[in-house]
Structures are given as C-alpha cells and as structure tokens.
Amino acid sequence: MKLPFSESYKIKMVEPLRRSTRREREQWIKEAKYNLFNLRSDQVFIDLLTDSGTGAMSDRQWAEIMLGDESYAGSSSYYKLKNAIREITGFPHFLPTHQGRAAENVLFSAMIKEGDLIPGNSHFDTTKGHIEYRRAKAIDCTIDEAFDTTLDHPFKGNINLEKLEKVLKENNREKIPMIIVTVTCNSSGGQPVSMKNLRDVRKLADMYEIPVFFDSARFAENAYFIKIREKGYADKNIREIVLEMFSYADGMTMSSKKDAIVNMGGFIAMRDKELFNRASIFNILFEGFISYGGMSGRDMNALAMGLYEGTEFDYLETRINQVAYLGEKLKEHGVPVQYPFGGHAIFVDAKRFLPQIPQEELIAQTLAVELYLESGVRGVEIGTLLADRDPETRENRYPELELLRLTIPRRVYTRDHMDYVAVALSNVYDRRELIRKGFVIVNEAPILRHFTVELDRA
C-alpha cells in the first residue's frame, strides 16, 4: 500500500478548547450584534476567522525568542532578520514594521499621493484602505476567470495584462507610482499568481517604467503552487522559486503574521537605497527606529526563523494539503466551494449556497452566522460588508462574489477539527432552504466597517 499523507510535525504543547451549546451561541451572537469579530474567543470552538497571527510557532522559534537582543539600535536580532530577508527574498534593504498594514502605511507615505492610480490584482482591504485614505485609487486588473468559482484555472490570482496595459497606456506615468501584485491573492480566494504572469507584469512595467511591488503575505504558498502547477518548476526547490518570484519586483510589503508564522510583525524590503532612505523617515515617525520598527528583538529572531521554516517544502505540503482536505470534504457533500482550493482558506460560494437571500441582506454574513450557530465554528465574510461603500458616492459596493472564508491557521488544528468543520457546514447546507432572511446594518464606521459593524435580523 502507498503510505498515506501525514503532518510534518508533532505537538509539544496544547491549548484547551471549550465546546458550547446552541442556546449559548444564540445569546452570544445576538449580544455581538451578529458581527463575529465581536465574539470573545472563548465563545468560539474552532476559529477560522483568519490565518493572520494565529499560527503555532515551532520549538526552534521559541528558542530564538530567548536569544532576542533588545538593544534600541543595531541589535543582533535586526541583523539576523536582515540576513534572512536577503537570503530568502534577495532584497538588500529592509525596514521592520509592526504588521503588514504598517508596512503599507510607511511605503505608501513615501510613494503615493492624491489622485494616483495603483493597478493590481484585487488589492487586500487594508491595502485598498491605505490607497483610498490618500485619495488615490486602486484599480483591479485580475483575470475574469477569478470571478467564476466553478472554473478550474491553476492561477486565478493572475493579472490580466490587457487590463493592466490599458491603465498604463491611458494615464500619465507620474500618476502611477507602482503596480501591486498580491501573492497569493487573498481577495480572489487565496489564489496564486504564476511565474509567467509575474514575469510578464515585470516586462510591461519596464516598458512604462513603473515600479512593481509584491504584497507578499503568502508568498511561500504561492511558490508551492508554482512548483506543483507550473511547467518547468517541479524540480526547483521552494527557495529557488521564491528568489525568482522576487527577482521580478522592486520591493515588497510583508505581513509576517501569515507565511512567516509569527503572531505579530511585518516588514518592507526593496532594492533601491534611495527609496529606503525616504521610507526610513516614515518608519521612524510611525513605527520606531529603523533597526526595530515596532518589533522587539525576540520577535525579529522568531520571524527570521519563521521565514526559513515557512519556505520548507514539507511544511508547505502539510499546510496546503490540510486546506485541500477540508475543501474536498465539503465538495463531496455538494457544498459550493471555490475551485481550485486556495492556499490559506476554503472559500464557500454563499450566493450559490443561499440563492434566496438578496445581496442587500448580506448573504455571506448570513451564512457565517448560521455556521456559528450550528457548531461554534467562526468563519469570516468576504462580501458586501468587506467591500464597503464607494468613498465618493457613499453607495454600497456589491462585489461579484459573496464568500464565506474558512481560514486555516498554520500548524494549529488537526484533521479531526477539519472533519468537524466539514460536518457542521454540511448540516447547514442540508437545511439551507429553511434560511429565509439575512441581516440589515444598524451601525457602521466610515471606513473598514466590517470590523465593528452592528447588524440586526432583516
């Protein structure tokens, strides 16, 4: 018999979970104004809200914590991280920040001004938030295939080069400070970008002399997909693939809370010393001195180790297989899930799950609440709430896709947990026709409303 697949690590420390009753959950979600961000973590049994900062560090990372150097300037931890970033990404300059959006804030302060256009592949919401906050505009150039959840395409994160070229051709170069490529593309479902697409974007950018930056939160998962799916990469190791990917960029922003498997942290890395100098000023203003930027020395040590571990093939194989395992279980039951499965999450197509709910009643949020009531599993809405209002017209933006994201933390849950989630959502699917009403918004913030929005039953 062929040996079955199994995890590339074992458990050394555990954290107890508490189950709850449906009665308790009905009370709690009502008190939370039907916003899953308002739940206390002990009201959640399996937490698939995000893969951000929720991973389990390894024994080697915890050992690095003890070796942290907390000097204000020039700490050995800073140099350890600088070496790791240079070795893995190839970028000679870097600035530490406290998380990914802080990296965006610093880099965009140095590069983006009012009226600018920033083309890319479905910018993540904080990226878009930081662009729109500066009265600039994010332009989505993702391939159309990304918006059909049933279509099999190996690289649904790809940029449509015609859409991109149209933006570059029709606008003054001074108005386009950068192109942002998100790898993997979270907003289109954790979908990867192919090496060929990265190379082609680079060529186009060179023609128009526009810098390219990667939003790199899940760059290692992207590299894994290139290895598995793209011709010519099967025999390359993950680190070689990562180096080639970044060779097509001028720089990167990083939320280290994802593929670097730490609970907090981020950075910016780049080739250009002059840009590094300009961005350093904002780093010192917003984050901290350039040799710590909002991170303690011990955390920089753990991050350096996390970059190495996060780019090991065996770890990535375990990771991507676990996500796909959940996806397969749901698919077997007929639950409409996005295909192919993404790297960090399974995206459930809520429009196909609950066709009777109108989009104004927040379809994906309705499904998220139902799953919580059924099982104590917390997913997250990627739909109308997240899409927010148009900053100019203040009208609701209704996205093409209404998704419930079941995001899998790294090295945290077991296959039994995945089975539990699959049965829970399958149960909701079996009684889907009984769900007749969604939600209305009672209270919302002017920007990034999904975190704090208050809802009531429609």
Q: Does 450 bind ligand F0G (CB under 6 A)?
A: no
Is position 417 annotated as part of the catalytic site?
Answer: no
* Distance (Å, whole) CA 248 – CA 254: 16
Q: Is there a catalytic annotation at residue 196?
A: no
Among residues 47, 51, 125, 259, the one annotated as catalytic is 125
User: Is 72 a known active-site residue?
Assistant: yes
Backbone dihedral angles phi then psi of residue 272, each to the nearest 5 degrees: -85, 120
Residue 255 binds ligand F0G (CB under 6 A): yes
For residue 370, which amino acid is it?
E
Exactly one of 80, 156, 257, 258 is catalytic; which is it? 258
Report DSSP state, residue 35. Answer: -
* Position of minimal CB gap to ligand F0G: 100
Separation of alpha carbons 107 and 74, rounded Å: 22
Q: Does 215 bind ligand F0G (CB under 6 A)?
A: yes
47 catalytic per annotation: no
Q: How far is the CB of 157 from ligand F0G (least distance, A)?
A: 10
Q: Name the active-site residue from 72, 203, 206, 398.
A: 72
CB 9 within 8 A of CB 315: yes
Q: Which of 124, 214, 219, 225 binds ligand F0G (CB under 6 A)?
A: 124
Among 96, 129, 266, 399, contact with ligand F0G (rule: CB under 6 A): 266
Reply yes or no on whether 215 is catalytic: yes
| 97 near ligand F0G (CB under 6 A) | no
Pick the stretch among 80-88, 98-106, 201-209, 394-402 that binds ligand F0G (CB under 6 A). 98-106
99 is a contact residue toward ligand F0G (CB under 6 A): yes
At position 283, the amino acid (one-letter code) is N
351 catalytic? Reply is: no
Torsion angles phi and psi, residue 221, rounded to 5: -65, -40
299 scored as a contact of ligand F0G (CB under 6 A): no
Asked if 258 is an active-site residue, the reply is yes
**Distance from the Cα of residue 9 to its chain's centroid:** 23
Containing H/E element for 422?
A: helix 415-430
CB atoms within 10 A of CB 72: 10
Q: Of 215 and 287, which CB lies nearer to ligand F0G in the complex structure?
A: 215
Q: Tell me, residue by residue from 180 to 209, as one string, x for binding to ligand F0G by CB under 6 A and - for no binding.
A: --x---x-----------------------
From the list 107-115, 122-130, 313-321, 396-404, the region that binds ligand F0G by CB under 6 A is: 122-130
52 binds ligand F0G (CB under 6 A): yes
**Stretch touching ligand F0G by CB under 6 A, among 93-101, 154-162, 276-284, 411-419:** 93-101
Question: Comparing C-alpha atoms, which of 278, 263, 258, 166 is closest to residue 215?
Answer: 258
Helix (H, G, I), strand (E, B) or coil at 270: strand
Q: How far apart are CA 425 and CA 331, in angstroms?
A: 11
| Segment near ligand F0G (CB under 6 A); pick from 120-128, 172-180, 228-236, 325-333 | 120-128
Active-site entry in 78, 124, 155, 341:
124
Least separation in angstroms between residue 380's CB and ligand F0G is: 7
CB distance 149 to 347 below 8 Å:
yes
Q: How far, in Å, are 23, 265, 353, 374, 453 from residue 44 at the CA level?
A: 14, 25, 23, 12, 19
Rounded to whole angstroms, how far apart are CA atoms 359 and 352? 12
Which of 425, 427, 413 is CA-nearest to residue 348? Answer: 425
Q: Are strands 212-215 and 251-255 parallel, antiparallel or unpaired?
A: parallel
Q: Would you name the residues annotated as active-site residues?
A: 72, 124-125, 215, 217, 258, 450
Which stretches of the chain bind ligand F0G, using CB under 6 A? 50, 52, 99-101, 124, 126-127, 182, 186, 215, 217, 255, 257, 266
